[in-house]
Structure 1
Amino acid sequence: MENQRSNSSLKAVVVVLALLLLGSLAYIFKMTTDAKKLETEVTTVKSEKDNLLDSLAIVKNTYEQAIKDKTEVSDELIAEREKVVNLIADLQKSKGDAASLRKYREQYNALQVNMKKLVAENEELKKQNETLTVQRDSTVVALGQSKKYNDTLVVQNENLAKTVEKGSKLVVMNLRTQAIKQRSSGKQIETEKASRADKLKVCFAVAANAIAKSGDKTYYVQIIDSKNNVIGDKKTETFGDMTLTYSFTTVVPYNNQAVDVCEYLDGNGKDFAKGSYFVNIFDKSELVSKTSFTLK
């Protein structure tokens, strides 16, 4: 009987030990499983955090590239980039639990939506600016060509005006001077002797010119004797910086046709001096014709 009771007690102990062993094994299995699960969760969270940081870095770089284009949305791009920079800093400081990662993921998604919108708008503005630049450059080239053409026209017009001005000037030609002895009958006799001459006859012609201005034209006749004295009226006229002393003036009625002019300078009872004489015709300050003669 005692042996039976002893065997029963032993069996009970064995059963209890077996149950304790099974419980220990179950506890150890659970602890191992929980540890592996926790390790997996930590690894997953860390991996997701790293992935999220990499994604945020891409968004940041995208903004920085877009900011370089310097369009009208550059200020908005800079503001959004700063949000990304701040989010990266916060995420790096975080413990990296699943709940906080979900919060950061939501912020990232919102930032990414804004980024796509702003970057698309920036690209459109960039294309518009490039088109405007091309149009502006084309306009500058066209304006340059137009200015060059206008400058050419100005030069041509100036040259034409100079040509017209030059062509419209009257030409004085065939200037000739004679010493005259006038008889009481009125007959004029040409002479080369100073003692016989009582007047000088100055003749010249004004050539025809269709584009010249018609009307009365005043010419100043200057006669200089052998002693370098201006003879005749000896009047003076100022033209700008030039002062002209002249013998007499003659007014020519000009109607664009050729006209001959003859004027006389009287000796006023005085003998003309022997020697060389110089005759000049002036149109205001411009010398338009000259000749010389000698009295013996």
Structure 2
Amino acid sequence: MIINPQIFNNKIIIGSLAVALIVIGALGYTSYYNAKESNAFLEQEKHLVQSELSEMISSYNAIDVSNESIGKQLEETKYKIIKILDSVKQTDLNFSEISKYKAQIKVLKKENLLLLSMVDSLESENAELKLVTDSIVANLDETKGVANTLQTKNKTLSKRNINLKEDLEIAKQFKIINIVAEGVKRVSSSNKVIDTKKAIKTNQFQVCFTLLKNELLAKGDKSLYIQVLDSKMNVIADKGTVNFGNTSLIYSDVETVAYNNKDLEVCALIEKGTETLVKGTYFISIFHQGNKLGRTTIELK
């Protein structure tokens, strides 16, 4: 049998084209499927972020506190969450933005735990005071002849005791003045601090203040915690969390000072670590035993 070479070559070409079309089709389908899977995953992550933010907002709406300061903090945190939720809803997210929002949620959860612990502490104190008051009223009711007199005296004494206790606790707290903070570029070999106003050149924060004497406090070493926050309320140079009873604090530095019942000048240098600083407002606060002694701000360009 005689085979026409031209026909044989055409069959080979047609066969090769068919295989190529099948391979291209398979690659196209795979790319389409992967893109579809990626978009579905991003949509799912976006939905989860929105759900988590919505739940946090609902939890804040359910809280009712009479303390004006804590109530204001709750409203400020809730407003930040609402802004983030609005941004998530209006943005087509990619993997980088999903990670950014998750990091912000993590910080907000820390704030949430701190605020809720403060609310729980207030509710616990109110419950204890209610139990004491109920017990007093019950006992007074058993002796009606002197109930009104005893009740009046007891309320007066209770109020005085509470006031004295509050005054004593306030009196036993440290007080600070002359808080000054600045960005530091470097410290020279002669220990001279070279300051800077630029965020990109800031490697440290220097915080100085005067710790006033308080004769109600015992002499000895005292731990002062310093917290540095950026404009988004992220803690700079996070050194960990310290607990004070039912409250906790994420701090940037701790300074141990030798207190001797005299005014004491304190200066601390806080390394920014691997943080990338951006221009904006930075908030520096000083704490002792969970009490905020003072706060200042600096602007970095």
Q: TM (normalized to structure 2)?
A: 0.44
The structure having more radius of gyration, on CA atoms, is: 1
Q: TM (normalized to structure 1)?
A: 0.45
